[in-house]
Amino acid sequence: MNGYQVTFFTQQDRTHAGLPLAEWLVQQARKLNLEGATMVAASEGLGRHHKIHSARFFELADQPVEVTMALSEAQLHSLFLRLREEKLNLFYVKAPIEYGYSGQTEI
């Protein structure tokens, strides 16, 4: 299948609708019946305002977090429509990909 890989970048302390934003994104993937989403916490990152964000021993609030999804064109449209409805301003990277499951015949 052809589609897109979308990765959203945020911080551990950023919230939306009472949840950490990364967790909210994963829940939206479930509600929209997307194939899946993966959340990864990073140890350090550089933000758009040239500020270093990092996980410190006593404070994880500033820890960078990525949420990555593989989406069809229709799923991508549904997800971004939802983000617009919620008035969320998120940095993302979108790239065209081929995706599927190993061991299955190509259709």
pLDDT tens for 27-86 read 999 999 998 899 998 766 666 666 666 666 555 566 889 999 999 999 999 999 999 999
The predicted pLDDT at position 5 comes to 97
In a domain, 86, yes or no: no
Question: How many structural domains compose the chain?
Answer: 1
pLDDT, average across residues 86-101:
95
Could you tell me if residue 37 is inside a domain? yes
74 falls within a domain: no
Q: pTM score > 0.85 for this model?
A: no
Which pLDDT score, from 0 to 100, does residue 36 have?
A: 87
Q: What is the Cα 76 distance to its own chain's centre?
A: 12
Residue 33's domain spans which residues? Answer: 1-65
Evaluate whether residue 43 is within a structural domain: yes
75 falls within a domain? no
